[in-house]
């Protein structure tokens, strides 16, 4: 099943934003600096789990700690995503310093994320230049078929555990494009690779140095036990990717490709338990986030209520269990938009 693009009452994205802003108090659109405590607590927990993994002689305990480390990596990375939208801190310099360290803790770079996600994904959701969308039929190639068949949800290779690596491979493709200097529709992994100017590349060098320094710090915590570090980092990264991929599958993948970037018609939000919603800092509210990316996540439920009341026929919020069969019944390549051909071959 693929959600159709319901035309509804013809309301445009700008009209939705204007209406929501008109009915909600202005204070809900301001940053929430105190929320920076959330990733700091998660960072302490991650470091404590590193210590526990290093102190134990049991590989069962080490693997268990690694899985929990993966959860903390997801929580920290997801919060860093909100920081990149200036939803938590307004001061650009202070915000970037936090991003520098937090992204470094999870093995990533702030500028790579901001370019791929904030600039391309939010501006071109499900359109040609979207860095997170599926490939279209006109973009089909054997390399892309192979990658998508084994590493993304599809009906040809149903319920493949390798699909949990979707997020990890997607993000790796951005770094690959950065390293080889190629951008655009050149990848077999993602449909669009972001470009980076010289200033951004210099920032990324700094960010990678910080990341390496932090990874050496993890090794120090583990008394330079390389095997335990590799287990913690690899298993942790796979676990973090799995959680991120599950959210990614539900957010846009069941909507058709189209150049009209309309969040209520190309995005879905997810029902999750209240404790999990808090631990994952309300990343489930994805339609809401696309309308107001700079809104603090703790306020997104107000947008949910407004959308449900005003546009119940358009707003999509689902449970993962009900949509799971449809996610794994998708074709490898999606249908091209009517009278549009995304084109491009790898």
Q: What is the residue extent of each domain of the chain? A: 13-327
Q: CA 56 to CA 48: how far, in whole Å?
A: 12
Contact 80, 110 (CB under 8 A): yes
pLDDT at residue 337, as a whole number: 86
Query: What is the reported pTM?
Result: 0.93
- What dihedral do alpha carbons 88, 92, 94, 100 form, nearest 10°? 90
Q: Return left, alpha or beta for 224; rule: phi > 0 is left, psi -120 to 50 is alpha, else beta.
A: left
Contact 110, 100 (CB under 8 A): yes
pLDDT at residue 346, as a whole number: 45
Q: What is the DSSP string of 205-271?
A: HHHHHHHHHHHHHHHHHTTT-HHHHHHHHHHHHHHHHHHHHHHHHHHTTTS---S---HHHH--EEE
User: How many angstroms from the chain centroid is the CA of residue 222?
Assistant: 29
pLDDT at residue 3, as a whole number: 63
**What are the phi and psi torsion angles at 220 (to 5°)?**
-65, -45
Query: Which parts of the chain have pLDDT scores under 70?
Result: 1-10, 339-340, 343-346
3-state secondary structure at position 334: strand
Neighbours of 123 (CB within 10 A): 11
Contact 52, 219 (CB under 8 A): no
Closest CA to 217 of 95, 76, 101: 101
**Which alpha helices (H) appear in the chain, and where do they start and end?**
13-23, 37-55, 59-84, 92-105, 110-113, 142-151, 166-180, 198-221, 226-251, 263-266, 274-279, 286-291, 300-310, 320-327
| 104, HSE (Cβ side, Cα atoms, 13 Å) | 22
Q: CA 96 to CA 83: how far, in whole Å?
A: 8
Q: Which residues contact 48 (CB under 8 A, 6 or more apart)?
A: none
Contact 127, 340 (CB under 8 A): no
pLDDT tens digits, one per residue of 290-327 = 999 999 999 999 999 999 999 999 999 999 988 989 99
Q: Return left, alpha or beta for 281; rule: phi > 0 is left, psi -120 to 50 is alpha, else beta.
A: left
Q: What are 184's strand-pairing partners?
A: 193
pLDDT tens digits, one per residue of 260-300 = 899 999 999 999 999 999 999 999 999 999 999 999 999 99
Q: CA 326 to CA 250: how far, in whole Å?
A: 10
Q: What are 317's strand-pairing partners?
A: 269
pLDDT at residue 30, as a whole number: 96
Q: CA 324 to CA 249: how far, in whole Å?
A: 9
User: How many angstroms from the chain centroid is the CA of residue 87?
Assistant: 16
Q: CA 94 to CA 100: how far, in whole Å?
A: 10
Contact 2, 155 (CB under 8 A): no
Contact 318, 250 (CB under 8 A): yes
pLDDT at residue 2, as a whole number: 61
């Amino acid at each position: 099943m693929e959600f159709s693009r319901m035309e509804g009452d013809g309301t445009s994205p700008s009209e939705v934003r204007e209406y929501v802003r008109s009915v909600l108090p202005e204070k809900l659109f301001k940053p929430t600096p105190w929320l920076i405590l959330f990733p700091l607590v998660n960072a302490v927990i991650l470091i404590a789990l590193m210590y526990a993994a290093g102190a134990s002689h049991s590989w069962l305990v080490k693997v268990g700690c690694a899985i929990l480390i993966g959860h903390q990596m997801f929580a920290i990375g997801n919060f860093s995503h909100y920081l990149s939208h200036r939803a938590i801190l307004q001061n650009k310099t202070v915000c970037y310093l936090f991003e520098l360290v937090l992204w470094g803790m999870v093995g990533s770079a702030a500028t790579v994320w901001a370019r791929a996600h904030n600039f391309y994904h939010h501006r071109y959701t499900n359109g040609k230049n979207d860095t997170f969308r599926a490939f279209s039929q006109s973009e089909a190639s054997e390399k892309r078929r192979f990658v998508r068949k084994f590493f993304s949800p599809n009906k040809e290779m149903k319920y493949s555990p390798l699909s949990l690596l979707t997020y990890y491979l997607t993000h790796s493709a951005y770094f690959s494009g950065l390293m080889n200097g190629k951008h655009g529709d050149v990848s077999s992994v993602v449909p669009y690779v972001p470009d980076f100017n010289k200033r951004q590349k210099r920032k990324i060098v700094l960010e990678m140095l910080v990341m390496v320094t932090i990874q050496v710090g993890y090794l120090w915590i583990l008394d330079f036990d390389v095997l335990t570090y590799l287990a913690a980092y690899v298993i942790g990264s796979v676990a973090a990717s799995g959680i991120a991929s599950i959210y990614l599958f539900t957010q846009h993948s069941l909507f058709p490709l189209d150049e009209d970037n309309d969040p209520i018609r190309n995005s879905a939000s997810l029902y999750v338990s209240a404790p999990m919603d808090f631990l994952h800092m309300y990343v489930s509210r994805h339609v809401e986030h696309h309308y107001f990316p700079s809104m603090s996540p703790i306020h997104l439920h107000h947008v949910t209520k407004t959308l449900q009341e005003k546009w119940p026929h358009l707003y999509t919020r689902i449970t993962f269990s009900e949509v799971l069969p449809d996610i794994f019944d998708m074709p490898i390549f999606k249908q091209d938009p009517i009278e549009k051909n995304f084109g491009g071959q790898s």
